[in-house]
């Protein structure tokens, strides 16, 4: 029913918006429809009045039920149709003739797996109205745990690119987008930004707190509860019996702790996504031609191994697993690329192996490999922060995205140096987080 309701929002009828959704015996969506003018008629020019003559809409509008039947590409025998308004007699005849066996009209609830779930959709949601101009691929019921309780949502998977948020008063895009080139040097926890007007070194998702300690406490609590209620699943030594197929028993105390852990993860996820969206909007105010080095974040999560000098055993350790889990730099790039696609462009990914921004010096025209703990580039009379200089070089990469334009670097370096010094002064006068202290 929620799909039918969302489909109705596509109707241009100013008075009555109706949607329909046809599903098969397995509740898979077959077709959707809404009431609208016949193909080839301009919705603006055609009449939407309620008179019964040529000046009324009734001679030209095709009802949602009939549109859904006509859009179907398979036999509808045995299917159901969900409609937001009780069908008229003509539509009922078409429904019967098509083989549909059941009609369900709107009562503000959706029936799913024996559950009766209220459908809540915001009125005057212009963002949804724009998004629904694209084709709905399929619908699914999404379950989320919020504060220990299950909440169900009807989620629509739609083709195309998500739209930008619109100001309801002016009808313009909410966040201002500037023209210009922006270079990004993204790390596991920080982001260097360089544009014509600003140079910034920022922590990724600074609002995200490190939850490792709280998470560990809850996990240990769950483990103690699980061992107490399932003694037959463990050996006397405390190890788990691998071939024991007896069903796990979860106590009420265990389930409550598990819900607390899920809520902790959910809050982190929402805060991180909100923070990345804010940062992406800020970057777009600096320019819409955005360049960034390609990064293999999966490789950065892989465990490294070394041999202990004392015992001769192999010791495995992670590189940046927890940092990537908390800060999710790849998510920021995905959000930024999605916003750029709405502007008919995309994030430009520079070839890391040929550009080598972290090693290049445009003054000497040479490459010098540096250790990870070397955070400053020495230019003799002054020092330049490594991440900010890399973002400056990335900003001045040629159109082939494989080489640095040295002439542009010389032309823009003086301005960059002024903005760089302003940013370093700001950071030195600020109480830095651990992530920023590691790069300054």
**Sequence-separated (6 or more) residues with CB below 8 Å from residue 85:** 16, 18, 64, 105, 106
Nearest to 423 by CA among 203, 161, 198: 198
- Tokens matching residue 377: 């580039």
Q: Which of 401, 373, 188 is nearest to 299 (CA)?
A: 188
Residue 392 has pLDDT above 50, yes or no: yes
DSSP 92-137: HHHHHHHT--EEEE--SEEEETTEEEE----TT-HHHHHHTTSPEE
Residue 331: which H helix or E strand, with range?
A: helix 329-342
pLDDT at position 258: 92
The span from the CA of 72 to the CA of 65, in Å, is 11
- Report d(CA 355, CA 369) in Å as an integer: 13
> Across all residues in the chain, what is the average pLDDT?
85
Supply the pLDDT for residue 111. 47
| Residue 319 CA from chain centroid, whole number | 25
Beta strands, E only, 227-386 = 289-293, 304-307, 314-317, 348-350, 360-361, 366-367, 376-378, 383-385
Which of helix, strand or coil describes residue 332? helix
Place of tokens 């105010």: 285
Residue 251 binned pLDDT confidence (cut-offs 50, 70, 90) = very high
Which residues are CB-neighbours of 113 under 8 A, at least 6 positions away? Answer: none
Q: How far is CA 10 from the centre of its chain?
A: 24
CB 194, CB 186: distance < 8 Å: no
Question: What's the CA gap between 208 and 216, in Å, rounded?
Answer: 17
90 is catalytic: no
Cα 356 to Cα 42, 370, 401, 403: the distances in Å are: 54, 11, 11, 9
Q: Please count the helices (runs of H) and the strands (runs of E) in the chain.
A: 13, 21
Encode pLDDT of 172-230 as tens digits: 777 788 899 999 999 888 999 999 999 999 999 988 877 788 889 999 999 999 999 99
For the record, the structure tokens of 290 come out as 């955005």
| Residue 409: count of CB within 10 angstroms of its CB | 19
Residue 239 — φ and ψ, nearest 5°?
A: -80, 160
What number of residues does the chain have?
440
- Residues 7-22: pLDDT tens digits? 888 888 887 788 999 9
**What phi-psi label fits residue 191: left (phi over 0), alpha (psi between -120 and 50 degrees) or beta?**
beta
Concatenating the DSSP letter of every residue in 336-350 gives: HHHHHHHTT---EEE
In sequence order, the β-bridge partners of residue 194 are 183, 199
Concatenated DSSP letters of 407-434: HHHHHHHHHHHHHHHHHHHHHHTS---H
With a pLDDT cut of 90, the percent of the chain lying above it is 40
Mean pLDDT over 292-302 rounds to: 77
Identify the CA nearest to 359 among candidates 319, 404, 329, 324.
404
pLDDT at 420 exceeding the cut of 80:
yes
Per-residue pLDDT reduced to its tens digit, 108-120: 555 455 555 665 6
Catalytic residue among 65, 203, 293, 423: 65
Residue 231's nearest CA partner among 221, 219, 218, 246 is 246
pLDDT (tens digit per residue) in 346-388: 999 999 999 999 999 999 999 988 888 888 988 888 999 999 9
pLDDT at residue 93 greater than cutoff 50: yes
Q: What letter would DSSP give residue 261? A: H
């Amino acid at each position: 029913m929620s799909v039918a309701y969302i489909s109705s929002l596509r109707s241009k009828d100013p008075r009555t918006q109706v949607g329909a959704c046809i599903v098969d015996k397995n509740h898979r969506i077959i077709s959707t429809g809404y009431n609208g003018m016949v193909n080839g008629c301009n919705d603006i020019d055609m009449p939407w009045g309620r008179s019964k003559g040529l000046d009324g809409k009734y001679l030209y509008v095709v009802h949602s039920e009939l549109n859904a039947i006509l859009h179907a590409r398979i036999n509808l025998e045995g299917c159901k149709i969900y409609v937001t308004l009780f069908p008229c007699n003509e539509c009922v005849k078409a429904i019967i003739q098509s083989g549909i066996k059941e009609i369900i009209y709107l009562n503000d609830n959706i029936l799913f797996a024996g559950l009766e779930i209220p459908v809540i959709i915001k009125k005057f949601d212009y963002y949804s109205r724009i998004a629904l101009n694209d084709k709905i691929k399929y619908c699914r019921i999404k379950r989320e745990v919020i504060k220990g309780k299950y909440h169900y949502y009807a989620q629509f998977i739609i083709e195309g690119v998500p739209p930008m948020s619109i100001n309801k008063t002016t009808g313009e895009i909410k966040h201002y987008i500037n023209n210009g080139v922006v270079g990004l040097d993204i790390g596991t926890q920080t982001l260097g930004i360089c544009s014509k007007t600003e140079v910034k070194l920022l922590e990724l998702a600074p609002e995200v707190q490190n939850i490792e300690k709280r998470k560990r406490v809850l996990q240990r609590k769950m483990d103690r509860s699980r061992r107490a209620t399932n003694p037959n699943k463990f050996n006397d030594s405390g190890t788990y019996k691998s071939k024991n197929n007896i069903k796990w028993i979860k106590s009420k105390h265990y389930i409550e702790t598990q819900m607390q852990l899920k809520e902790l993860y959910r809050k982190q996820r929402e805060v991180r996504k909100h923070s990345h969206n804010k940062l992406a909007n800020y970057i777009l105010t600096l320019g819409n031609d955005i360049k960034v080095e390609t990064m293999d974040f999966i490789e950065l999560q892989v465990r490294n191994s070394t041999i202990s000098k004392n015992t001769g055993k192999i010791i495995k350790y992670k590189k940046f697993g927890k940092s990537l889990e908390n800060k999710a730099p790849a998510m920021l790039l995905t959000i930024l690329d999605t916003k750029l696609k709405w502007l008919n462009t995309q994030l430009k990914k520079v070839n890391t192996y040929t550009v080598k921004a972290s090693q290049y010096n445009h003054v000497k025209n040479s490459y010098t490999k540096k250790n990870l703990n070397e955070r400053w580039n020495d230019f003799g009379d002054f020092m330049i922060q490594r991440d900010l200089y890399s973002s400056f070089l990335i900003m001045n990469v040629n159109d082939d995205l494989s080489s640095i334009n040295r002439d542009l670097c010389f032309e823009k370096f003086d301005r960059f140096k002024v903005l760089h010094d302003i940013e370093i002064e700001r950071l030195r006068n600020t109480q830095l987080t651990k992530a920023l202290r590691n790069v300054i």
